[in-house]
Amino acid sequence: MIKVINKYRGFTLIELMVASGILVILLAAFLTTFNGILKTANYNQGLSLAYSACLSGLEEMINHDFSSLKTDYSTAWTSSGWTFVPSGWTSVPSGINGMGNIRITDRSELYRGGEWTVATSASWTVRTNPISLVYDNKMWIMGGFNGGYPDDAWYSTNGINWTLATHANCLARSGHRALVYGNKMWVMGGSSGSPLNDVWYSADGVNWIIATNTAWATGGRVNHAALVYDNKMWVIGGSPGSNEVWYSTNGANWTLAANTGWSKSNHAALVYDNKMWVIGGSPGSNEVWYSTNGANWTLATNTPGWSKSNHAALVYDNKMWVIGGGLGQDIWYSTNGIDWKLATNNPAWSDRVSPGYLVYDNRMWIIGGLSSGSYKNDVWNSYGYDRLLEVIITVCWRQSDGRLFGEDANLNGVLDTGEDTLTVNNRLDSPAQLRILLSEKNILNLRKTFLGRQ
């Protein structure tokens, strides 16, 4: 007889219960892992969208007027918060609500152009009130005052090495003005003890020829301003005749354009935006006037933030600049003559009265002058102040499941209960933060950092 052995049997109840328990544990582990993965995915989605929102906010600021960037965003965005809309989205993504905060800091210690020195002492003698101009691709200074009246003319191509062009009696004066017109250098008025009424010109800086010694019908002129505009030479204000504006096309014959409503001496004048500008000067040393014809003048502002006389005024980098004057060493600029911005009040050079000044080799130059009672022969230059603003964009958000990310998701300055406290460090940071330095002239990626958990 053959015996058949059954190798298969059913599971006992206990075994089924154990197997079921294992399955439950595995399923629970799977669900936990899946839920974690889902939460991580949701978090990463929120993080990605928040970062995109940071970039969107940054692009908005890049396209904003730089001069009002700090005021507009620091006031409007920091105080009320910012509901973020990521780049490429027309509205906030469904289920993810975020708030942003923008902090803008003026990083003045990082300004380019703080290096103003070229030569601590030039080869010409110390002086204040030298006239200065650019001619024949050289920088020139002439005359001035240092207790006497230097009668020399010097030129340089680098601000360090200076060459004596000539000694000439007609250059022994102070408070005079100079300009370039008709391929010649012109010297006008000034004083060697009393106001002078003469005009001289030279094609080489060595040989000087008198154009007239009776230029202005009302008498000599000192501490006036001079410029070239509308193919004419202009002499503006000064003492005496502080409200007079004169012009000439040949340097010998001068026509009175106006007796203006203002009276100016020790002022500065320049051409900008197709207008003549008169800036500062005494009295009314905080006034800025402009004209397109020399006869009719409009007051742009008498509240520019500065008060200037015996200062420098230049056009550089599509801006008007006023520099030094009095006992000041502050530097201001404007693009419209009304609104003036402080570039710095602490350049490398000391306070400066009546320096020579010009633009050469794409730089602004300050030459000599009077500093705290001492005559100077130092030479300084700068590429200008490339203003830098540090922008920190912070975003906190609430996920669709209600979780809050960031230590201050509602951006009220308080670490609220229920917010993500894993990164609490007594700073209002967040999982999504972008920092960048914005430059006045262009966007500089000097420092661009996206910060996740800190």
pLDDT at residue 435 in the model: 79
Its domain, for residue 358, covers 113-382
The answer to whether residues 402 and 351 belong to one domain is no
The pLDDT of residue 43 is: 61
Residue 8 lies in a domain: no
| 304 and 214 housed in the same domain | yes
Tokens 């502050």 -> residue = 330
Residue 5 lies in a domain: no
Number of structural domains found in the chain: 2
Q: Are residues 309 and 423 in the same domain?
A: no
Beta bridge partners of 191: 174, 195
Amino acid identity, residue 393?
I
Give the end of a domain, one of 339, 367, 382.
382
> Do 105 and 117 fall within a single domain?
no
Neighbours of 220 (CB within 10 A): 21
What tens digit of pLDDT does each residue of 24-47 get? 666 655 555 545 554 555 666 667
| Closest CA relative to residue 365, chosen from 113, 107, 47, 56 | 113
Query: Is the domain of 209 the same as that of 228?
Result: yes
Residues 245 and 286 in one domain: yes
Q: What is the pLDDT of residue 16?
A: 59
- Residue 54: inside a domain, yes or no? yes
Q: Looking at the structure, do residues 335 and 398 belong to the same domain, yes or no?
A: no
Q: Are residues 178 and 303 in the same domain?
A: yes
CATH number where 192 lies: 2.120.10.80
Each residue's pLDDT, cut to its tens digit, for the chain (454 residues) gives 444 445 555 556 665 566 666 666 666 555 555 455 545 556 666 677 767 767 777 777 777 777 778 877 765 443 334 455 544 555 555 555 566 667 788 887 776 655 676 777 899 999 999 999 999 999 999 999 999 999 999 999 999 999 999 999 999 999 999 999 999 999 999 999 999 999 999 999 999 999 999 999 999 999 999 999 999 999 999 999 899 999 999 999 999 999 999 999 999 999 999 999 999 998 879 999 999 999 999 999 999 999 999 999 999 988 999 999 986 889 999 999 999 988 888 888 889 999 999 999 988 999 999 999 999 999 999 877 777 888 877 777 666 666 666 655 555 545 555 544 444 444 444 556 777 888 766 544 444 555 443 3
Determine, yes or no, domain membership for 198.
yes
Residue 26 lies in a domain: yes
Q: Tell whether 3 is covered by a domain.
A: no
Segment 381-436, tens digit of pLDDT: 987 777 788 887 777 766 666 666 665 555 554 555 554 444 444 444 455 677 78
